[in-house]
Amino acid sequence: MAGATLLDVQFGRWSSPAWAKGFALTAACCRWPTDIDAVHAAAAAAIDWSIFAQTARRHRVAGLVHNAVERAELPLPADVAKDIAIEARSIAWQNLAYAHETARLQRLFDRAAVQVVFLKGTALSQAAYGTLTVKHGRDIDLLVSPAQVSIALDLLQADGYTLGDPAGALNPAQIKALVAHGDQAELARRDGRLRLELHWRLASNRHLVHGIEPFAAPAQTALPGLGTLNVLRPEDEFVYLCVHGASHSWSRLKWLADLNARLAGLEAQQIAGLYEYAEARGAGLCAGQALLLCHRLFGRVLPVGLHEALTAGRRVTRLAASAAQSMMAMIRATHRHRARRALFATWSGRSGLAAGHDFSLPKCADFSPPRATRSVCHCRALLPSCIHYCAFRYGHGGRCLGPAANGRLKRRNAADRLCSAVFLFRSSISVHDVPGF
């Protein structure tokens, strides 16, 4: 991704020029504030409108696309325009429902004296876009401390939520095991129409968010007419969004669009300060990858010194190229499991591998062993997470959660590390040979 335009990217086997042009227009529509000139420039190419609509749907940015298309007055085919408008209207209604539920949950936890911080969702939508109508949201993400997970689960279940993942019911021993080895649980109410993810860690890799104390002095975001929500401080939110996107290889454009919108209105030096803060927290690669993607896809202005530092070596540029390829992969959202396998079969998934995980071993820091030895050392660094994953899914941990939980326990980040370790062993290279290192 060394060129100046998005179309200079080397596409993977799922990509094609038609998909690249549809993606370029989708990315132009996701700029915030809306850049009408960029939308017109991207629409000047021969666009396959059905691919454009599929791209907007796959990346869950129909609200942003509809807003940009309306403002730029693009002459979309009637059926495509109708489909995008219907999806955008659905996003707006769903966001309003989630906003009311989020505000109600804040009051519920306040009455119970349980500290809670809301991640992403309607709070981010209001802070980044100033409206609840354009950002796609599929659930409510809330964070509690590990010590209060049991209390939070009891509170939510008494409020009408039912536990869905990792199991339909958990006893105290199972909850203790889940808190020790997992990072979230999924709940739902109203026949699944309202979904909630209860988190007790910001990231499965604590080295990427070390020093962040989300409950020490949380910020607040006001939802007009509904109340205020506890949220992460802006600098902590920046780190979290970068780590979250990198852990998913930025495979959906909506995550990057939300981060870019959150950066809108900031001076270049403020962005540099956020990057330095992320670097101090251990998430420098994640933040560098995200900022370079925002610069190249959305035209986000970066300080000259920061841009030069990010592009001086191979690390961040290769990570950004890998994430861009992952974004443009022609994989529909309905093929999620196939998509995960595909991302780890090519370079597309390695942005999460390289930016989202810490492979360093303290015992290997004082010497430089041969490449094969370094490869084994770095893979051994992943083994604890791999063991946790296998134990939960197939061994004692899985039995601890009960037979119904086997095969349904979603240890996504541990699974990613397992795939990464297998990739490194099979290719017989060290992590230093991975593009971006």
pLDDT of 361? 28
pTM of this prediction?
0.77
pLDDT surpassing 80 at residue 425: no
- Residue-wise pLDDT for 66-112, tens only, equals 999 999 999 999 999 999 999 999 999 999 999 999 999 999 999 99
pLDDT surpassing 90 at residue 270: yes
- Residue-wise pLDDT for 343-369, tens only, equals 333 333 344 444 544 333 232 222 223
**pLDDT tier for residue 405 given thresholds of 50, 70 and 90:** very low
Of 9-18, 171-180, 272-281, highest mean pLDDT: 272-281
One-letter amino acid identity for 40?
A: H
pLDDT of 192? 77
pLDDT surpassing 90 at residue 13: no
pLDDT surpassing 90 at residue 64: yes
pLDDT of 35? 95
Average pLDDT over residues 242-254: 94
Residue by residue, DSSP assigns 273-323 as HHHHHHHHHT-HHHHHHHHHHHHHHH-----HHHHHHHHHSHHHHHHHHHH
- Residue-wise pLDDT for 114-147, tens only, equals 999 999 999 999 999 999 999 999 899 999 999 9
Pairwise pLDDT comparison (317 vs 421), residue with the higher score: 317
The residue count of the chain comes to 437
pLDDT of 14? 44
Percent share of the chain, pLDDT over 70: 72
3-class state of residue 147 by DSSP:
helix
Q: Which long-range contacts (CB under 8 A, 24 or more apart) does 384-390 make?
A: 385/204, 385/413, 385/414, 385/417, 385/418, 386/414, 386/417, 386/418, 386/421, 388/181, 388/414, 389/414, 389/415, 389/417, 389/418, 390/418
Average pLDDT of the chain to the nearest whole number:
78
Pairwise pLDDT comparison (360 vs 51), residue with the higher score: 51
Of 107-121, 178-192, 384-398, highest mean pLDDT: 107-121
Pairwise pLDDT comparison (165 vs 60), residue with the higher score: 60
